């Protein structure tokens, strides 16, 4: 799979652990995130991820900021994006199963690195169920 990832200053260590796991599993990763704890603006790192996913250059996206909210709001402004703010693997699974989410948003200040890695693995390994959920997903876009 092709995965795009972006993070602000709250997530460099999270990104590093997630990227290492993704590469070990044979995924191709495009990294738009910062490697510094110096304050930056999360939209600058979220927009390129959303663009890759919406244009089909990436199969999925991963975004990380302190609360996960700001960067999730940013990427959800893009056409064809369904980003889900996840804080546990069960939410990540449901985001894929029921909402066909294509970007996972991780709150670095409220999850541990092992939790984040586990959520990403769950997210990428869970299929959309379709069926009754497809009708709902079709109603999301404006």
60-65/103-107 β-pairing: parallel
Q: Report the DSSP beta bridge partners of residue 106.
A: 64
> How many other β-carbons are positioned within 10 Å of the β-carbon of residue 85?
20
Does the active-site annotation cover 47? Answer: no
Of the residues 9, 47, 65, 86, only one is catalytic, namely 65
- Is residue 125 within 8 A of residue 97, CB to CB? The reply is no
Which tokens in the block code for residue 115? 């939790």
Q: What size, in residues, is the chain?
A: 142
Q: Is 86 a catalytic residue?
A: no
Catalytic residue (one of 9, 27, 78, 98): 98
Active site amino acids: 65, 98
């Amino acid at each position: 799979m092709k995965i795009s990832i972006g993070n602000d200053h709250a997530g460099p260590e999270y990104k590093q652990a997630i990227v290492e796991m993704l590469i070990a599993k044979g995924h191709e990763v495009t990294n738009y995130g910062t490697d510094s704890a110096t304050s930056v603006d999360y939209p600058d790192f979220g927009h390129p991820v959303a663009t890759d996913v919406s244009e089909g250059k990436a199969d999925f996206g991963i975004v990380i900021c302190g609360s996960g909210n700001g960067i999730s709001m940013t990427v959800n402004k893009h056409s064809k994006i369904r980003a889900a703010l996840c804080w546990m693997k069960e939410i990540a699974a449901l985001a894929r199963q029921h909402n066909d989410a294509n970007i996972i948003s991780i709150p670095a200040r409220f999850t541990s690195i092992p939790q984040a890695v586990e959520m990403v693995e769950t997210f990428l390994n869970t299929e959309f169920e379709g069926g009754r959920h497809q009708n709902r997903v079709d109603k999301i876009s404006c």
